Structure 1
Amino acid sequence: MPRRRTPKKRIVLPDPVYESRLIELLVRQIMRQGKKSLAYKIIYDCMNQLADTTQQEPLAVIEQAVRNATPLLEVKARRIGGSTYQVPLEVRPDRGTALAIRWILTSCRNRAGKTMANKLTQEFIDASKNTGNAVRKREEMHKMADANKAFAKYRF
């Protein structure tokens, strides 16, 4: 974290096929060791499978899945007087989206299945129906924030 000034936000350009910033964010999170073309292939295969299985627009399913997995509250550790409190805070929209994408991809990677596109398709379907590990993670985060709302006075 820089001491002098906060770094400028980088503008994410939309992906070439669907013209969506969300798809580009997903591609950048999936990418390993700079292999962006492979990440694009995984995402577009997943979107084709979503269109086949749900008979809906795949971009709408993905947006609904990310919206369902996005947390509204999170807890941060704050040290006050020698003891550490878990202070609940509201989540900024860009951070909430980043957390949702991260949780969807980690639960997808932990899922058993053949290919990454298949696992990602199933995870998007589950998250769009308000089930799945990413949504469960969001619910745990909200429960933790609700349990520690007595420490909300220590917000910073």
Structure 2
Amino acid sequence: MGRITSSRTQLKGDPRHNSKLAGKFINCLMLDGKKTTATRVFYDALDEIGRRGEIADLTPIEVFEAAVENIKPYIEVRSKRVGGASYQVPMQVNRARQQSLALRWLLGAVRDKKGRPMHLKLADELMAAYKKEGVAYTKRENTHRMADANKAFAHFAW
């Protein structure tokens, strides 16, 4: 089992929008306990999305929430050992893991890009995820494709 954390019960929304998802993302973005830096990066990315004006009918926080919703995987493959052989078995993903994977893939995609300020890379990846493009969305599509390819082993998911 993993570590027991109190993050689900004690999680506070972000200061500006009071969104729990944004608060969780800021906590995941944070490195070395520097929450103010992580908060500034997140809000600068939202301001950059608003400044670009590509989406006129949505606020930047709604773009962020829609982008995370687009990245969430609904099915994944898990390794299952049956009779001495390991099979990649497609399984449903629960809501907490969907959100965790989406945030992890989003941050991984942003951190892998080099040479630009973090808030600009984050704004680019959020816009790409909103439009169903980008590295994080591709990761989701590859996960779904892998699960679809292995659906012959779905009967091992017990």
Amino acid at match of 1:46: A
User: Do structure 1's residue 98 and structure 2's residue 100 form an aligned pair?
Assistant: yes
Deviation at 1:10, TM superposition (A): 2.6
Once the two structures are overlaid, the 10-residue window that deviates more, 131-140 or 93-102, is: 93-102
- What CA distance in whole angstroms lies between the structure 1 residues aligned with 2:88 and 2:39? 38
Amino acid at match of 1:98: S
Give the 4+ runs in structure 1 shifted more than 4 A. Answer: 6-9
Cα-Cα RMSD? 1.7
1:117 to 116, 119, 138: 119
Once the two structures are overlaid, the 10-residue window that deviates more, 25-34 or 104-113, is: 104-113
- 1:33 is matched with 32
Q: How does the TM-score come out when normalised to structure 2?
A: 0.91
Report Cα offsets for 1:46-80 as digits up to 9, x if no partner. 11111111344001110111111110100100001
Distance 1:113 1:125, change over 3 A: farther
1:69 to 53, 71, 77: 71
Percent pairwise identity:
39
Matches within 5 A, 1:5-154: 10-11=8-9, 12-54=11-53, 55=56, 56-154=58-156
Which runs of 5 or more structure 1 residues have no equivalent in the other structure?
Answer: none
Once the two structures are overlaid, the 10-residue window that deviates more, 20-29 or 50-59, is: 50-59
Report Cα offsets for 1:77-101 as digits up to 9, x if no partner. 0001000001101111121111111
Deviation at 1:15, TM superposition (A): 1.2
- What CA distance in whole angstroms lies between the structure 2 residues aligned with 1:107 and 1:44? 18
- SS of equivalent residue, structure 2 residue 88: strand
Deviation at 1:9, TM superposition (A): 7.1
- Contact 1:113–1:119, Cα closer than 8 Å, also in 2: no
- What CA distance in whole angstroms lies between the structure 2 residues aligned with 1:135 and 1:48? 22
Q: How does the TM-score come out when normalised to structure 1?
A: 0.92
Deviation at 1:112, TM superposition (A): 3.4
- Number of residue pairs matched? 153
